[in-house]
Structure 1
Amino acid sequence: MTIHTEHPFDTPEGDRDQVRRLRGRIGGTVSLWTSGLGIERAGLTVSSYLVATGDPARVVGLLHAESDLLDRLEETGTAVVALLGARDQRLADAFAGVMPAPGGPFRLTEWEQTEWGPRALSATTWMGVRLDPASRHDVGWSVLVEATVEHAEVGDDEAPLVHRRGRYQRPTA
């Protein structure tokens, strides 16, 4: 058995998409977007989003075009956008589809149903959003959606889960 210092299936350096590499260096706090009720719940880990303050406040997110979350969001018109902490890495990976979750990712933590969708009880900073009609725009490999923030709660911010350059990072300050 040989142990490699590099991933054996990595795309060779010269063949990597430069814009995607640039985007990976921007980094950001990982959020979990959830929507639906009961067995019709769906969720997706999202790090490409922007919150704009104002009256009303708005959130813009880039969602995977074939995600169950996008379908559920368009059906219900509402979602919970929760900021994840360092303790939520396993939850983030399960909702990103990169870690197995026997029985589904909703079994990994406790949830409460809000009027906007399910919220992980471990997520103390979150917002309830309503999708803006006709806000869907195909952008690259993603779908850009816009929503109005109808409710926001800010809890303790011990250690946010930050994603940069393809991996989780712990902020130093």
Structure 2
Amino acid sequence: MPIPRKIALLCLLLAGPAGAETLSLAQALDAAYAQNPELAAVGREIGIAEGERRQAGLLPNPELSWEVEDTRRSTSTTTVMLSQALELGGKRGARVELAQAGQSIAQLQLERQRNALRAEVIQAYHGALRAQTALELAQQSQALTERGVRVAEGRVKAGQSSPVEATRAQV
């Protein structure tokens, strides 16, 4: 499974220049949580669900309407009506219950998104640590090899071994 570009950038930040302070796993997770747009979007869904729950608990607004019959001034009739819907059969309670379920779903989606992001960051973090360790081992191996070449060249100059020995060490 390919690692997303954002997580790969996190790995580069973790590796950093030689001698720089490395990023801890907690810092990497905090940075990922703070700067992940998908997580922020899911977090906004919780606020939306909260607003919908509040709105579901309110009574419907009354309606005011008017009607004018006949356009002549002397025979015109104007009717004004005020109406209020009466909810029977637990409609408002059902609406509130549905909105609370939507709020619970939004919370679960946020938790799922956070867990998925956490798994990606942990995987990328440990991948970067493995790469960093492999780099350090390669650098140590290179230093050891260069030291072996210098020793072989010193032995050739001292006449203790043949030039083939120095060529073999360089290879």
Instruction: Give the TM-score normalised by structure 2.
Output: 0.19
> Greater strand percent: which structure?
1
TM-score, normalising length: structure 1: 0.19
Greater C-alpha Rg: 2
**Could you say which structure has the higher helix fraction?**
2
